[in-house]
Amino acid sequence: MITFLRTIAYGLPLLFLAVFFFYPLAAILQLSFGDFASGGLVRLVSDGYYVRVLWFSTWQAALSTVLTLITALPAAYVFARYDFPGKTLWRAIATVPFVLPVVVVATAFVALLGPRGLLNTTLQSLFALEQPPLEVVNTLGAVLLAHVFYNYSVVLRIVGSFWSTLDSRLEQAAAVLGASRFRVFREVTLPLLLPSIGAAALLVFIFTFSSFGVLLILGGPRLATIEVEIYRQTAQLLRLDSAAALSLTQMCATLLMTMLYTRLQTRFTVPIDQRARATNTKPARTRGARLIIGGNIVVITVLLVAPMIALGLRSITSLTPDESALTLNYYRLLNINRTGSFFFVPPTQAIANSLLFALATTVLSLLVGIPAAYLIARQKSPQRNSQQNSHFTWLLDPLFMLPLGTSAVTLGLGYIVALGSPPINLLRSPLLIPVAHTLLAFPFVVRSLLPALRGLDPQLREAASIQGAGPLRVLREIDLPILFPALLVGAVFAFTVSLGEFGATLLLSRPDYPTIPIAIYRFLGQPGTENYGQALALSTILMIISVLCFLLLERVRYRDIGEF
């Protein structure tokens, strides 16, 4: 009986992937190659418009990556080499933007730089201007700023963490031999840092190459990445074959970049006489050190903190230049049907829908992610044949991570193509939303659990078994108490991912079951200050929930380590 239950549990994540990941992707492949002579793939290479979309996706991602590196690498140095008051707090503040839903990030920049944004209304009031002096929204500049905002912490965490463990005695030895600071950096520090910088740059490139929400809200109709074009071809033009061809192209590009990222990550995680972080940091005693620390704090404040503050302030202030009184009117409107429409769904219902979908996603992600993590960890058990371990781990580990390399919009397209007719007809069901969210969220559960599972002492289980405890009792009384912090981290990850998911939900959501991101996007697309104010209020609510989830993650993270 125990063996049967274990087989069912281990088979659950594989079955889930087969039905809700590989089956939709196979449908996309079939649609891409169907009627090849006139299909989407031929149109993709013959139509100059699609070539321009591919080119724009590539060069804007490259430019976003370069700008992110230029902005974040000085901060990586500061946090790696100096101790200063509030260091932990500022690192946490710099990390918060990455956990914010992309629709909140875009709305925050609209609140700061938009025509009715905080900066424009302030300038209008100060200089008695009739028109907003800054036109930033719907330009490439706004998109690039949002990309840097969103990915700043990727470079800071990856490069900064590695930099902080490099042995500073190498630099000191080079300096003693007469090398200048620039030469020490060029010939000693930079070669050691290059793998981590390359890995961070590739990760930023992957995120910005498939950017969706930022381009859709801040880029306007003239700017479109592959991801945005997939959505337009699917939802607006109903050209599913072209959308499928674009999805196939994006998946291949993302797969290649992910493979390269994995190789670079392997290189920079190899120990090279690393030292404890505390021994590499020093207090800022010189004026130059204090200036570079202060400069980076200013960058973090202006680039990362200002948009979030602007979002919160604009949600509680009047949206006209001549009125700046505090008001909660936009929050009160969230439950009022101003148009009197019979089909009106109040934004408060969208909040309830998001919370219910997030709870369902959390439960499903744990049901799928826990046995998947055990299966990967079990294959690395020392009691098993090492050749078997290598074979199965090589297969299972990347298998369960595949959804992370697939865009949410592509996933939504696959569900439209594959799950809208028998044998699996779920397209009209609201249950499809938490299923799609689970596919995107359960890999986070797996990566959160793996470090704890691999650190679990097998002798504890053996001792319990010798005392007569069955497998279920060992799981309940040995594994679960030890794994609970990691389980909590995975659960919070899943909840946060579901709460802010936008791409797949935009394609799959029903009008009577909107989520918070969908409601925000709808309000931003409608004229009127009340609609804009409600978008700001909903974005602020979602931002507060995401920040609280992040604080909980930081508090319960397993030994301050993890694979994310």
pLDDT for res 129: 82
The strand pair at 282-283 and 82-83 is best described as parallel
Secondary structure class of 326 (helix, strand, coil): strand
pLDDT for res 109: 93
pLDDT for res 319: 65
pLDDT for res 262: 64
Structure tokens belonging to residue 520: 């925000």
pLDDT exceeds 60 at position 387? no
pLDDT tens, position by position, 346-358: 888 899 999 999 9
Q: How many Å apart are CA 232 and CA 227, to the nearest integer?
A: 9
Higher-scoring residue by pLDDT: 529, 180: 529
* Total H helices, total E strands in the chain: 28, 4
pLDDT tens, position by position, 479-504: 777 788 888 888 998 999 999 999 88
Reported confidence tier of residue 560, pLDDT bands at 50, 70, 90: very low
DSSP letters of 380-422? T-TTS-HHHHHHHHHHHHHHHHGGGGS-HHHHHHHHHHHSEET
pLDDT for res 37: 45
pLDDT exceeds 90 at position 71? yes
pLDDT tens, position by position, 185-215: 777 778 888 888 988 898 899 889 888 989 9
pLDDT for res 343: 55
pLDDT for res 383: 46
Architecture of domain 1-29+347-564: Orthogonal Bundle (1.10)
What are the boundaries of each domain within the chain? 1-29+347-564
Higher-scoring residue by pLDDT: 262, 375: 375
Structure tokens belonging to residue 496: 């946060």
Q: What is the mean pLDDT of residues 355-376?
A: 92
Q: What is the mean pLDDT of residues 439-456?
A: 83
Q: Pick the range with the lowest mean pLDDT from 251-255, 411-415, 438-442.
A: 251-255
Q: What is the mean pLDDT of residues 543-547?
A: 91
CA dihedral 546, 84, 67, 206 (to 10 degrees): -50
Reported confidence tier of residue 270, pLDDT bands at 50, 70, 90: very low
